[in-house]
Structure 1
């Protein structure tokens, strides 16, 4: 016969084992509450996001220039353009009317 306790009997729980079990339970509950908090914050923040401002239907660029990048802000759109000679410019355009608001030359490297 093998030595040891039979399967039907439970061993007495030592204080260190009891403390370990409580610690694991506490940490599990903390982890679950943390995940719930993060998910709730994501849902709240994503629900409050506003759509980006609209772009003009068309943006007229000077002949020979092509757009390489675009960004928008509150009431304006910035278009980075490059011409046939490789010169780059940032053209700021009114988002509502499409009228030019300014041009900035980008110095070559």
Structure 2
């Protein structure tokens, strides 16, 4: 019984097996690349924040945002205080009309 020849695979079945193996390898490499990119992107410390901000008149900060050369603080009394990032000097004060 051991003398029987093994049946040969059809050519399209060989091609399909190679294709599935190749696609599996490409998918594994792709997942590894995506994980590496996420780790690299999430390792970034982000923008530098000022160490200390002195608000005028005992104002209380409720929000903070920043741009290229400035940062802004929204206060509880509906004001936006815009400061120079380099010098820390207040550049502008905007009063927000809540419309109440």
Using structure 2 for the length normalisation, give the TM-score: 0.68
Listed as ranges, the gaps of 5+ residues in structure 1 are 1-5
Matched positions, count: 96
Q: What residue number does 1:76 align with?
A: 70
Which deviations, in whole Å up to 9, do the C-alpha atoms of 1:46-92 show, x marking residues without a partner?
Answer: 67x475234042322323x3111011233322000122xxxx11110
How far apart in 1 are the matches of 2:48 and 2:34? 28
Alpha-carbon spacing, 1:45–1:56, altered in 2? closer, same or farther (3 Å)? closer
RMSD: 3.0
More helix by proportion, 1 or 2? 2
TM-score by length of 1: 0.64
Unaligned runs of 5+ in 2: none
| 2:66 alignment partner, SS class | strand
